DNA sequence: CGGGAACTTGAATGGACTCAATTTAGGTGG
DNA sequence: CCACCTAAATTGAGTCCATTCAAGTTCCCG
């Protein structure tokens, strides 16, 4: 919602950055002087585990904030990459902090943004800890839909800017599992997927899957084109 | 570390609370005017999922903060329960915010605390998303050890204040799995567990398990008392 | 239009779960 | 203080969901 949209309150935008698909915004270890607000496009943040596996931490949609942890830390721990051509506002975190010293409203917004970040991560931990693969994918699709529609995009028809592997990594699943579940949900008439183009056909059924009711049949009841 | 110990910087502690084992500090929906610093004891925070399952969000050890999200939100979303007799400092969040308006240092501490919270949750998401059961349990044990020793408690010998079910819920595992893995780690000479009493015998091996090297044998190589 | 990445689908495997039976620990009242 | 009683923990056997491995297809991008 609006809470993440710090941009409105901040006349601190010094400059803009444009990234091409595949470009890296920052890497682990990079100095972190700034936070970014996504104007258009999509950013994927990811991390390596101690064991060397990769984990997609989040996808950042237009209007959302990237690199919030840099307000309190000197270096980045994630890698941030553009999944499509992306434009961002650059907000120096020092200036943000200085301004926050003056403005109560900005201070509150900043706390809210952090709080929301912590809550998102916590919710994700619950998704990963308690849900089956089907529930995770359904939750992911509905979550994307909600965030996009909050920004004025279509709620029920959108492009997945990330690969199945990205989705899988974010949800703690393998790419094949994500693909299979998309197919099953399509077979059950909940969604339509044609490669990256996704349409939500039955939101209610999807929400049921989210809650662990109505497990999907292994094979589609009806064959779809 | 010290970052979480807001208490030192805050002369705002109005009063203290004492809880008996099993007492609830707050429930979802309760008004959230305050944050708490654990003086002694252990607090477990947990949430219900949409599907009705329960998830243990975190365990809060002495010196750590409980209810940080109440700084930015009106009501609690978690339930906080004492796992043993526990005493807490009560810090009104309004007073905290007012004081933060004046003091740069406190403001920075507050941001750090939030940032740390977000990072903890993110790390937990990686644990849940990318790790096997063995890696999760090993990570949990080492994490507890590190946090306890940072507070001056013994690093290699401590009591688990939570049940196997609590641990399982926190790690996205069933209690039987937690129990089995404790037994396997004991069989491999990494730890010793006698009910709630845990001793770390070989930290290096445990760290290897954390990284996904050296999977544990199904059956103990040597039978231990 | 060619080539490589991304995706789909199948079959077989395996790790964590379920169900179930004991054992152990901890708290309570006689 | 001990016997009891319930909650917690351990262990085994069988099952199932997600993974692995593999083959084939589709989609992009140049």
Is B12 a residue whose pLDDT tops 90? no
Nucleotides of chain D within 7 Å of a protein C-beta? 8-13, 17-22, 26-28
Q: How far is B51 from chain A (nearest CA, A)?
A: 4
CB contact under 8 A, B170 and A118: no
Host H or E run for residue A198: strand A197-200
- Residue B206: CB atoms within 10 A of its CB come to 21
Preferred mutation among A130, A137, A138 to probe B, highest tally of B CBs within 10 A: A130
Q: Which two tokens stand for residue A132?
A: 């089956």
Question: Which among A50, A72, A213 is the nearest to B111, CB-wise?
Answer: A72
Torsion angle in degrees (nearest 10) through CA of B154, B159, B164, B166: -80
Helix, strand, or coil (residue A209): helix
CA B121/CA B118 separation, integer angstroms: 5
Alpha-carbon gap, residue B151 to B147, rounded angstroms = 7
Cα angle, residue A118 at apex, residues A10 and A182 outer, rounded to 5°: 105
pLDDT tier at B111, thresholds 50, 70, 90: confident
Check residue A225 and give its pLDDT: 34
What is the tens place of the pLDDT at every residue in A150-160?
A: 999 999 999 99
The rounded distance, in Å, linking the Cα atoms of A205 and A213 is: 9
Partners of A157 in the β-ladder: A199
- Calculate the angstrom distance between C1' of D9 and CA of B175: 9
Statement: the pTM of the whole predicted model exceeds 0.85: yes
- The CA distance from A37 to A39, in Å, is 6
B179-218 residue pLDDT tens: 999 999 999 999 999 989 999 999 999 999 999 887 777 6
User: Would you call A71 and B111 a contact, using CB atoms and an 8 Å cutoff?
Assistant: yes
pLDDT > 80? residue A145? yes
Instruction: Write out the two tokens for A39.
Output: 């104007």
What distance in Å separates the CA atoms of residue B18 and residue B25, rounded to the nearest whole number?
A: 9
Domains for chain B: give ranges and CATH numbers: 3-128 (2.60.120.10), 131-210 (1.10.10.10)
pLDDT of residue A100: 87
Mean pLDDT to the nearest integer, B160-172 = 98
Is residue B37 within 8 Å of residue B3, measured between CB atoms? no
Q: Say which DSSP state B202 is in.
A: -
Strand partners, A79: A46
Q: What is the mean pLDDT of chain B?
A: 89
SS3 label, residue B192: strand
Q: B132: Cβ under 7 Å from strand C?
A: yes
Order of strands, sheet of B86-92, starting from the edge strand that comes earlier in the sequence: B15-19, B86-92, B34-40, B65-66
Token pair listed for B114: 């939030």
Q: Tokens 């059961």 identify what position?
A: B133
């Amino acid at each position: 919602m609006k809470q993440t949209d710090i941009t409105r309150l901040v006349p601190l935008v010094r400059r803009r950055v444009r990234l091409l698909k595949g470009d890296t915004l920052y890497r682990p270890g990079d100095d972190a002087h700034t936070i970014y607000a996504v104007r258009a496009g999509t950013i994927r943040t990811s991390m390596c585990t101690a064991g060397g596996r990769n984990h997609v931490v989040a996808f950042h949609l237009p209007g959302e904030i990237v690199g919030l942890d840099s307000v309190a830390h000197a270096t980045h721990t994630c890698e941030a990459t553009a999944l499509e051509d992306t434009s961002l506002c650059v907000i120096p975190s020092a200036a943000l902090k200085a301004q926050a010293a003056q403005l109560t409203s900005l201070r509150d917004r900043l706390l809210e943004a952090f709080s929301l970040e912590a809550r998102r991560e916590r919710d994700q931990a619950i998704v990963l800890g308690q849900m089956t693969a089907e529930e995770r994918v359904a939750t992911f699709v509905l979550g994307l839909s909600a965030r996009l529609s909050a920004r004025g995009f279509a709620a029920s028809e959108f492009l997945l800017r990330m690969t199945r592997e990205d989705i899988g990594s974010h949800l703690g699943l393998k790419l094949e599992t994500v693909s299979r579940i998309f197919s099953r949900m399509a077979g059950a008439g909940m969604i339509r997927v044609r490669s990256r183009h996704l349409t939500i056909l039955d939101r209610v059924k999807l929400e049921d899957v989210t809650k662990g009711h109505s497990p999907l049949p292994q094979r589609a009841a009806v064959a779809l084109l």
